[in-house]
Structures are given as structure tokens and as C-alpha cells.
Amino acid sequence: MDSGAARPLAGTEGASYPFWSPDSASVGFFADSKLKRIDIAGGALQVLANTGTAGTARGGAWSRDGTILFAPLTNGPLLKVPAAGGEPVAVTRLETGQGTAGHRFPQFLPDGRHFIYFVRDGRGVYGGSLDGTASMRAQTRAAVAALFFLGVLGLVVWIGSDPVMSRFETLGQEYNLGGQNRISIWRDTLGLIRHHPLLGTGLGSFSTVYPSVQTVFLTLLVEHAHCDYLEVASELGLPGAILVFGSIFWVLAQTAGQYKKTEESFDKAVSLGCIGSIAAILVHSLADFNLYIPANALVFTVILALAWSHARPEETPAESLRPCSRDIKSCWPSLKVLRVHAR
């Protein structure tokens, strides 16, 4: 390398689209329908992954953490594979109707996690992330943040804070008829759980079986336990309740972990929003029956799905993004890494 004289590397015959490792000690390339690497000091040739039909690969890039991003096909997505070899995993996904507009020529950005790539047929330069999260344009982030703020503000103005606070302040007074209150219903429900601890009484059966243990509001029909935890336990049994709420708390924990790990401010905002929403429902469920109101249950399910997909990005390939060519600043402030290094 110091002499400036070119010399062939044994085993690289027919190689195409070579790219350097971060330490400049190895070279990755495509040959014989495979992704390969070789140490320039004379190390053994290594086969990292298959690329399909010969001559269809379109570039690769090598990150500092030992991940290689490459385009195995002219009309396919980008894949990632460990620099030591392994099973390739897709990190981009072709948009519906994109046809032959394959993803190619990836380049890592300075953080080693985000990257940009070219989409053929004049579609431009796009950006993505190894963890499967998609970077959004600055205008989009601002619009989402503004809509979220306006939505919260409108909800506060429409509902007000008093109904929410009074829900917990009146636990001992609601339905107060000579000492009868919501807490009394909870005691009766605990008795129902003791009678059917394993299998419960059946989903949706609370209003039917509650009279068998009812000691309060004897002239009224009690349709819910006013505590989702107790009502679910009475209907599904303790194992069923542990499974339901254990899964919810697990998703909450995963989302909190993703919030700590992610560096993207927008991703943090999504995680924090999901954490707040899930926590609010779980707390309110202590004194109400949110999960038995169809509209609330539907919204809660959507929030859980959003939290799960955001907390497990490696299982959800990143969507293709808006072209950076339309708003070059939104792609990354350091696109200068695209400069060609003379080796």
C-alpha cells in the first residue's frame, strides 16, 4: 500500500463493486454470485453470503460495528450480514408498485447505524437505519408533533381535568348507599375469584355470575367490577389474567428499553407516547372497566401494536423513505461521507 504500485489480490478474479472495511485492512467484494471478503495483508478468502444470480449485485458498505450492508440484486432491497458471515437480513423493503426500482449503492453515515442508498429509475437517494426505524423529514416530524400537541390540548379543553381526578377521589363515595361503594364490589369480586381461581367463569360472564356473590346494591344490576384487573381475573382465572396483563407489562417494559436505547428524537417521542398511553390505561383500569369498552379497547390495542412494532424494529424491515434529493438536509447533516476515498 505504501509503495503506490498496484498488485492483484489472489482469489479476487472477476470481483466487482469492492468496498473497504473501516480499518482499511480488508476489502469486501462480489464474485461468483457471492459476497466475499479478503484481508489485504494476505489473509484467507472468506465467503460471507450468497447474492443470487451472477452480476446482479450493486454495491456494499462496511460499518464500524462489523455489519456489512449490501445490494445483492438489481431489483431487490438492501440486506445486512455480519462481517464474519451469517444469514442475511433485509433492512429495506420495496414500496408497493415500485417494480424494478431496486435499492443499491449503500453508504453508512458517521454514526454507523444510519445509511443512505440510491433507488433506480430516477427515484433518488433515500435513507434508513440498521435497526429498522425510518428517519422522517424534519417537516413531517414537526407536523406530527404539532398534531399531537393540538390533539392533547383539544382533549383537555373538551373533557377537562376534573372528571379524571374525581374518578379516583370518589372511590369511597360513588354509589354510596349506607356504606356500599365500589370497594364493596371489589370485595365481592375477590370472592368470585376464590370460587373460580383457575379457569374463571368465562369471558363476558361477570354480570351473570356476580349475583351469586353479591352483597351490595342488591336492587341494582352490577355489570362490571369497576376494576379491569379483578374482572379479567374473575372471568379468565388467575392464569389468564397473569397472561393478559403480564403481556401488556412486558410490551411496556420493551418500549421503555427502546426509549433508553434509541438516539433518534422522533423515535424517543413515539416510545414515550406509547409508554404514557399504556401506563394511563393501566392506572385507570384500577378503578374502571376500560378494557370492556369497545372503543377504549380498540385504541389500546392499536397503541400496544405500535409500541410492540417500535420496540422490536429488527423484526420489522424499514420502509423506504422520502427521497433525500427533495430535502437534502432532512436525510443527514453529513452527506459529505459520499465523497470517494482514493485508496
pLDDT of residue 330: 45
Domain ranges of the chain: 16-132+319-338, 141-315
Whether 285 contacts 244, CB under 8 Å: no
* Residues 6+ positions from 79 with CB-CB distance below 8 Å: 49, 69, 70, 71, 72, 88, 89, 90, 91
CATH superfamily to which 16-132+319-338 belongs: YVTN repeat-like/Quinoprotein amine dehydrogenase (2.130.10.10)
Residue 100 has pLDDT above 60, yes or no: no
pLDDT of residue 54: 66
Residue with cell 470481483: 15
What mean pLDDT, rounded, does the chain reach?
A: 77
pLDDT of residue 231: 93
Whether 227 contacts 187, CB under 8 Å: no
pLDDT of residue 120: 72
Tell me the range of 95-99, 136-140, 245-249 where mean pLDDT is highest.
Answer: 245-249
pLDDT of residue 321: 44
Output the nine-digit C-alpha cell for 258: 427502546
pLDDT of residue 340: 35
Q: Name the pTM for this structure.
A: 0.49
Q: Residue 35 phi/psi, 5° resolution?
A: -90, 125
Q: How far apart are CA 226 and CA 287, in angstroms?
A: 5
Least reliable range by pLDDT among 178-187, 211-220, 251-260: 178-187
pLDDT of residue 133: 52
Strands (E), 138-229: none
pLDDT by residue (tens digit) across 113-166?
888 888 876 567 888 888 765 444 455 556 666 777 777 677 666 665 566 566
pLDDT of residue 173: 53
pLDDT by residue (tens digit) across 74-83?
788 888 889 8
pLDDT of residue 248: 93
Cα 50–Cα 20–Cα 106 angle in degrees, nearest 5: 65
The residue among 316 and 75 whose pLDDT is bigger is 75
pLDDT of residue 141: 58
Label residue 326 by pLDDT band (50, 70, 90): very low
Label residue 239 by pLDDT band (50, 70, 90): very high
Label residue 198 by pLDDT band (50, 70, 90): very high
For range 194-218, the mean pLDDT: 89
Q: How far apart are the first and last CA of the chain?
A: 8
Label residue 194 by pLDDT band (50, 70, 90): very high
pLDDT of residue 139: 53
For range 177-206, the mean pLDDT: 84
Least reliable range by pLDDT among 62-71, 87-96, 145-154, 307-316: 307-316
Whether 327 contacts 137, CB under 8 Å: yes
